[in-house]
Amino acid sequence: MTEDLKPWFPIRTERLLLRAFTQEDFDEVHAYAADPRVARFMDWGPNARAETVHFMSLKLAEQERWPRDGVTLAIEHLSDRKVIGSIRLAVGDRPNLTGDFGYSLNSTRWRQGYATEAGRAILDVAFGVVGLHRVWAECDIENVGSFGVMEKLGMRREGEIREGRLIKGQWRDRYLYAILAEEWAQQG
Ligand SMILES: CC(C)(COP(=O)(O)OP(=O)(O)OC[C@H]1O[C@@H](n2cnc3c(N)ncnc32)[C@H](O)[C@@H]1OP(=O)(O)O)[C@@H](O)C(=O)NCCC(=O)NCCS
């Protein structure tokens, strides 16, 4: 794996900048983390202020370390410089060159292709820079927005994980999606 040499971010896409968090991002992060629509399928939230304070302090501390296996980045909109969400890539299984990713966006920004745009940039890095062989992601079976993004990215639904996560007190079924390096390369 090659990413240990230097951090592979920030990444600029057509409309977005994927970059490390700063303390000044707090209000914009809290705006989406406190939104029940955003947190609906998550095992966290909707956040109270103190929970976002905790999240931000973990991220700011984590950002002091390099190399590291998990990277969570703020998604900044280039036109208004607002943080509209976050995206994470984690290399959970180094011997097998396997990682996973996930994303959240402010609900006022949904359905404009931003998660797909950020996800595409993360998969480019995961395969082209980090050198992964396989990237997977999971979502609640009712999270149409999330599996819509994965399908747009060309990921394949590999199966259903029964009661894989306890979400807001309920055991929830999950879809598992994945894509391999050679499949990503074929998409150009
Ligand atoms: C999941 C999430 C990040 C999607 O972000 P997004 O920027 O709206 O996604 P995109 O605009 O790139 O959508 C890609 C495709 O997914 C599908 N899709 C996205 N949102 C959808 C929705 N609300 N209903 C139905 N389909 C949806 C569509 O097919 C869409 O393509 P189209 O708009 O060209 O038809 C966003 O809904 C979100 O933040 N949800 C809350 C947090 C979350 O659940 N994260 C994932 C955890 S696994």
Confirm or reject: Cβ of 116 under 6 Å from ligand 1: yes
Contacts of 126 (CB under 8 A, 6+ apart): 89, 99, 101, 132, 135
Pocket test for ligand 1, best of 87, 136, 146, 151 (most atoms within 8 A of CB): 146
Pocket test for ligand 1, best of 72, 77, 86, 111 (most atoms within 8 A of CB): 111
Amino acid present at 70: G
Q: What is the DSSP string of 83-145?
A: EEEEEEEEEEETTTTEEEEEEEE-GGGTTSSHHHHHHHHHHHHHHHTS--SEEEEEEETT-HH
Print pLDDT tens along the chain (188 aa): 655 678 999 999 999 999 999 999 999 999 999 999 999 999 999 999 999 999 999 999 999 999 999 999 999 999 999 999 999 999 999 999 999 999 999 999 999 999 999 999 999 999 999 999 999 999 999 999 999 999 999 999 999 999 999 999 999 999 999 999 999 999 97
Closest alpha carbon to 20 in 68, 63, 77, 80: 63
- pTM here is 0.97
Confirm or reject: Cβ of 145 under 6 Å from ligand 1: yes
Q: Which amino acid residue places its CA nearest to atom 43 of ligand 1?
A: 104
Pocket test for ligand 1, best of 43, 110, 136 (most atoms within 8 A of CB): 110
